Amino acid sequence: MNDLHIALWQTPHPASTAEALQRLDAVCEKARAQGAELLITPEMYLTGYAIGAKRVAELAESADGPLTLAVTAIAQRHGIAIVYGYPEQNPHGQPFNAAQAIGADGTRLMNYRKAHLFGDLDRAQFSPGDAASQVFEWRGWRLGLLICYDVEFPETVRLLALQGVDAVLVPTANMVGYNEVQQLLVPARACENRVFVAYANACDSEGPVHYGGASTVASAHGLPMATAGRQETLLLAALAPGELAAARRHSQRPDRRPGLYQALAVRE
């Protein structure tokens, strides 16, 4: 593997999908010019997050719908992979809160549905995803997707780590008042699994909802590699295979005793 150069776009949610695509096109050009190979947007970036159940349902599309085609064209035009958030249609209920990875050549790499819904806002708008995240390969890297609240559960990252993931990419819309996620939980998930974790948050406000920014990339040792403030920014980081190898020499995972942990799979 070569170093993987990523960009986390900490940005407000746009007022419309047209604006979202226009701004995404511009930031992809900027990120690629700065050497980024992959860009991560916030949770539900293409449509907005706190927009109400009716509007979410109106804007929801299939994983290969018009919004995906537009993002694919942007990825191909600038030669950069994109991880973006959007509402995915669900024929059996409310839409899914989804994130999709598109390769620099336009290939659809992975689609993931948020499994853990946070609070009344999430539950009013979405159905929970029905499957754990799976690892996908891109340019020699084994990558995984989670969305916002998912990363706060240690089991989610551990499941990806057991599949051999190298980096977990997390579009998020974490709100003001929950800074412990960026400051404590994201580094902990990285350290305890010896993987990179990239957490791309929204900023500014959307109606009554205030987002906390502070996007971060944690190393496989659980140390901050790059951290944003509260305002819009393009956060760059280079993920190095050597860092993974060094961290994994001190991994606790070989000493796990899964037979003792069966109670973890029992609902409280």
Catalytic residue positions, numbered:
43, 114, 148
Which helix or strand (DSSP H or E) is residue 226 part of? strand 224-227
Residue for token digits 């999908």? 17
Collapsing DSSP to helix, strand or coil, 34 comes out as coil
Main-chain phi, psi angles of 76, to 5 degrees: -65, -40
Do 121 and 50 contact (CB within 8 A), yes or no?
A: yes
Q: Are strands 81-88 and 96-102 parallel, antiparallel or unpaired?
A: antiparallel
* Nearest partner of 126 among 147, 109, 156, judged by Cα: 147
CA distance from start to end of the chain: 41
Residues in Cβ contact with 18 at an 8 Å cutoff, skipping those fewer than 6 apart: none
Distance CA 43, CA 88 (A): 12
